[in-house]
Amino acid sequence: MHGRLMSRSTRRIANALALLLITAGARPVSAQQLPDLVTTDVLRVCGDPGNMPFSERKEDGFENKIAAIIADELKVKVRYYWLTQGPGFVRNTLGTGLCDLIVGSAAGSELVQHTNPYYRSGYTLVSRHGDLAGVTKLDDPKLKGKAIGVIAGTPPVNRMGELGLVGSMKTYAPYQLDPARKHQTVSAEIIADLAEKKIDAAVLWGPAAGWLAKNSGAAMDVVPLLQEPDRPPLTFRIAMGVRQNENDWKRTLNTILRKRRADIDQVLRDYEVPLLEDDENRLLEPVKH
């Protein structure tokens, strides 16, 4: 997923996920050497105002909580520039200079410069509790003929096509900008359809699926897809995004990410994010208290 090793198709996937889908005794940001475009008296975050569990105008999302950790370390307050995720999000946020940080971006995307990744997660199979007990792979015969919800254009669609699941696959448009829509996000719509038995299962990005399933009002199983082939990739490292060439700012964020890793990991676990080992498809052990 890095640099020259990325294939063209993998770069496209990473760019798409970036759309959909940061020292001990740190000094205030004003005391650090940062590029001119980075505001020094406040942490200006580029955020989606309605994209739970990631972010929300009420600052209830896990990316909001992580931004608060970064701001705490910098000894400044957070200020948001809100824009709905979709085509042009990076160009109209970081690109315009109206904000300085995207909290969650798939590492490897060429749209932004990335910090070190601060978590790794993957796509999951979501079903009503007990309906698909024991199913851990998309090629399981139990999935044949099942109505499976998936967001159009996401990596699982290709894998499902390879396995002959297209006939029963229900695809959802990735960007629904109609203000009258019933659900805040497409992922939330899919989980609601699953809870209402309109579909039998869903294949969704784990960081969204875990929290949405927990809050769906129906008992659900969320199973990370850890045994799928590497192509197309179904696991991704998530980093923070900054403008190209803002290397001092990136280094500052990397230092904070190292120092506050335990706090950030706890936020992710609180929001049911499936956390994977960095180098293999295995769930991290829960943090012991």
What pLDDT, on a 0 to 100 scale, did the predictor assign at position 36?
Answer: 59
What pLDDT, on a 0 to 100 scale, did the predictor assign at position 114?
Answer: 97
What pLDDT, on a 0 to 100 scale, did the predictor assign at position 34?
Answer: 52
Q: What is the DSSP letter of 204?
A: E
What pLDDT, on a 0 to 100 scale, did the predictor assign at position 148?
Answer: 98
One-letter amino acid identity for 26?
A
What pLDDT, on a 0 to 100 scale, did the predictor assign at position 285?
Answer: 74
The angle subtended at Cα 122 by Cα 230 and Cα 261, nearest 5°, is 120
pLDDT in tens, the chain (289 residues): 333 333 444 445 445 454 444 222 333 333 344 555 899 899 999 999 999 999 999 999 999 999 999 999 999 999 999 999 888 999 999 999 999 999 999 988 788 999 999 999 999 999 999 999 999 999 999 999 999 999 999 999 999 999 999 888 999 998 766 667 789 999 999 999 999 999 999 999 999 999 999 999 999 999 999 999 988 999 999 999 999 999 999 999 999 999 999 999 999 999 999 999 998 889 987 644 3
What pLDDT, on a 0 to 100 scale, did the predictor assign at position 172?
Answer: 94
Judge whether 42-120+236-276 and 122-224 match in fold. Answer: yes
Q: What is the DSSP letter of 276?
A: B
What pLDDT, on a 0 to 100 scale, did the predictor assign at position 280?
Answer: 87
Q: What is the DSSP letter of 41?
A: S
Burial of residue 106 (number of CB atoms within 10 Å: 0-12, 13-18, 19+) = buried
Domain spanning 122-224: CATH superfamily: Periplasmic binding protein-like II (3.40.190.10)
144 touches 137 (CB < 8 A): no
Cis, peptide link before residue 53, omega less than 30° from 0: yes
Question: Does domain 42-120+236-276 bear CATH number 3.40.190.10?
Answer: yes
* Phi, psi of 162, deg, nearest 5: -60, -30
Domain ranges, ordered by start, for the chain? 42-120+236-276, 122-224
Strand ranges, E, within the chain: 42-47, 50-51, 55-56, 77-82, 102-106, 113-114, 119-128, 148-151, 169-172, 201-205, 220-224, 235-242
Question: Rounded CA gap, 47 and 119, in Å?
Answer: 19
State pTM to two decimals: 0.86
